[in-house]
Amino acid sequence: MKPEGRQASPAFVFLGERTSVDRIVECVPNFSEGRNAATVQALVAAVAAVPGVRLLDHTMDPDHHRSVLTFAGEPMAVEAAAFHAITVATTRIDLRQHAGVHPRIGATDVVPFVPLRGVTMEECVQSARRVGQRIGTELGIPVFLYEQAATQPVRTRLEAIRRGGLSGLAARMESDPVWRPDFGPSSVHPTAGAVVTGARPPLIAFNVNLASHDVAIARAIAKTVRESNGGLPCVKAIGVALASRSLVQVAMNLTDYRVTSMETAFRAVQAEADKAGVRIAGSELIGLVPQTALGPATVQTVRLERFDPMQVLETRLAATAG
């Protein structure tokens, strides 16, 4: 899952001290395509074609009907790669043909910039603004700034922008001046919808799968554990059905893993699953995870499936440094 919430602006710095010649920003765009491998590969190729950008990871999920790319590099190169991929998504993804369990309002749904080394949060805000302006001007898609880049308090949280889906956003754009986009036209694009871009700290997409077909159970657990309903701080959660795996899932975003860890989130879900008489089938990470988020026994404690040490952000960055 990839919804995100507003947090403070701590200095997340990886791989040593900041220097003026080693500036790394991460970009983690989410696209509304998880079933057409050719389209996802075209997105990957668009990023990989930009000099100075390291493609760190990509995933695609047919149930969520969503793909997530992770890449990093010097800010201007990352901005170019992000815009290149968004352009490809705009030509290849038609939201009128899209159906998946994950909330979304765009072919390119959300494009966060994350400071990793030698780059401030404010510089990532400026990256989001520059890319957003290009999307609005050159692609004719309305763009909303969120998180640290938000220009309206009501649009800080991604879920607020997504409320009611694309049709809900379109209605607000038409009737409420507060919902005029930051860039681009005042109505949604017919096939690409809208794009959200901004700046945020590192986020962990952590999902817990339940051995059940009852999505109501997953939704009830998600409602209990998420911050917005009085649950764990810095946790967002939704319950979804995974038809291809005959499971249901509590899909979570840990927006500050130093406040609520994967272990804490897992134990909370497990406690609610036990009350419902449902067995935990395992858990999964989507994308990469900072090394400091993994304790000595985290993988075993949260029952991560198919965990690869290369999912550690610092390890992947070092492996792609050449």
Query: Which is catalytic among the residues 65, 84, 98, 102?
Result: 102
- Alpha-carbon distance of 189 to 143, in angstroms, equals 10
For the sheet with 235-242, list strands across it. 235-242, 247-254, 204-210, 280-286
Closest among 90, 97, 116, 95 to 28, alpha carbons compared:
116
CA distances from 215 to 212, 222, 231, 291, 302 (A): 8, 11, 19, 32, 21
Q: Is 102 a catalytic residue?
A: yes
- Alpha-carbon distance of 321 to 139, in angstroms, equals 32
Q: Identify the helix (H) or strand (E) that includes residue 10.
A: none
- Alpha-carbon distance of 93 to 108, in angstroms, equals 9
- Alpha-carbon distance of 106 to 297, in angstroms, equals 38
Query: With contact defined as beta carbons under 8 Å apart, do 320 and 56 qualify?
Result: yes
- Alpha-carbon distance of 318 to 97, in angstroms, equals 39
Query: With contact defined as beta carbons under 8 Å apart, do 203 and 234 qualify?
Result: no
**Strand partners of residue 147:** 199
Task: Give the residue numbers marked as catalytic.
Answer: 102
